[in-house]
Amino acid sequence: MSAAASDTLRVPLDALDEQVRAALRSLGLGEAHVQAMARTIVAGQRDACPAHGIYRVLTCAHTVRAGKVDLQAEPLVEADGSAVVRVDARYAFSPLAFERGLPALVDAVRRHGVGALAIRHCFHYSALWPEIEAIVAHGLAALAVTPSHAWVAPAGGHKPVFGTNPIAFGWPRPGPYPLVFDFATSAIARGDLELHRRAGTPLPPDCGVDAQGQPSTDPIAVASGAMRTFGGHKGSALALMVELLGGALIGDWTSRESLAFDAGSGAAPCHGELILAFDPAHLGGADAAEGARRAEAMFDAITAQGARLPSQRRFDARERSLREGATVPAALYREVLAMAGA
């Protein structure tokens, strides 16, 4: 471990992984959950996504203390040879449910050209890109949506209805890294709002309103008022779509029911997730290779003018973390070490 700046450390990934696992074990989580959750948390820190890195150890601990999450439940996978795979997470954290459902999803997509993985009854805290990358590693394109807690007002309103409702997409590419984007449909992700609250720093403008419906940059005021969607009515419509696809369509809760179930405990949202995957070889048929070539030509047209592809920042951070260790806020790491008993 080395000091990268006065308040940050560079921690080798294997050491970080060991401490995150120990901290998660200290919460009483079953070993399969510990392994699956640590993979997402260490990946978040490795890729310089602070709201989904080791900070999540603390929020998962809070969720465990709230007492509703099942620490041991083995997900139930239902795959009947159709294009639809259902996984009941049984009120445990989501990463293990995804990992258990992935092989059946890939199988379904190979068979039908398209496939859907509907995860239900999961406590969800993670970014979606680790799941998208895991699917795209099989040469598939993928799209994922999930609701959260009702913290976000619709365009034109000021009372929370939607969650921060992320949408993530991935496309396979030659070389080590795919094309991936993954963003909240709220103007700022909730994890980032919490990090502003912890740091006592203002939010960027236009992220939310206070309880009286007035624009505010105070993270505490916005937390008790409402966040805004990005992109006005367009982001609002996307957030609505996420509620329908990742909630109503798969027979699980929307963000409103998730927040009601939470009953003020401040635990991670509890709901479902819908993941769709597409096999370019199947859909493109004889023209699949040409489709892939056109996609690469389009990516070149983007980068040739100095614009960057989504996830490039993350992949650059990953390369650096693999070489030098992940950048970790020292105070936060001390909290994780204390939980790990180190």
321 contacts ligand NDP (rule: CB under 6 A):
no
Distance of CA 294 to the CA centre of its chain: 29
* Residue 114 neighbours by CB distance under 10 Å: 16
148 contacts ligand NDP (rule: CB under 6 A):
yes
Tell me if residue 252 falls in helix, strand or coil. coil
Among 314, 321, 326, 336, binds ligand NDP (CB under 6 A): 314
Residues 6+ apart with CB under 8 A from 184: 164, 165, 166, 190, 230
Question: Which residues in the 257-296 window bind ligand NDP by CB under 6 A?
Answer: 269
Among 127, 179, 193, 275, binds ligand NDP (CB under 6 A): 127
Q: What are 186's two structure tokens? A: 């709220």
Rounded-to-integer distance, Cα 201 and Cα 195, Å = 9
Nearest distance from residue 316's CB to ligand NDP, in Å?
8
Site stretch for ligand NDP (CB under 6 A), options 9-17, 218-226, 231-239, 308-316: 308-316
Compute, in degrees rounded to 10, the torsion defined by CA atoms 236, 242, 248, 249: 130
Q: What are 253's two structure tokens? A: 């809760």
CA distances 36 to 2, 108, 109, Å, are 27, 22, 23
Q: Look at the alpha carbons of 273, 99, 172, 44 in this order and tell me if their dihedral is positive or negative.
A: positive
* Short-list 61, 74, 89, CA closest to 32: 74
Question: Which residues in the 38-97 window bind ligand NDP by CB under 6 A?
Answer: none
Binding string, 187-226, against ligand NDP, x = CB under 6 A?
--x--x----------------------------------
Question: Which residues in the 158-177 window bind ligand NDP by CB under 6 A?
Answer: 164, 166, 168
Number of residues this chain uses to bind ligand NDP (CB under 6 A): 24
139 contacts ligand NDP (rule: CB under 6 A):
no
Q: Which residue number places its CB atom closest to ligand NDP?
A: 127
Tell me if residue 261 falls in helix, strand or coil. helix
Nearer to ligand NDP, 146 or 327 (CB): 146
129 contacts ligand NDP (rule: CB under 6 A):
yes
Can you give the binding site for ligand NDP, defined by CB under 6 A?
124-129, 146, 148, 164, 166, 168, 181-184, 189, 192, 269, 308, 310-314
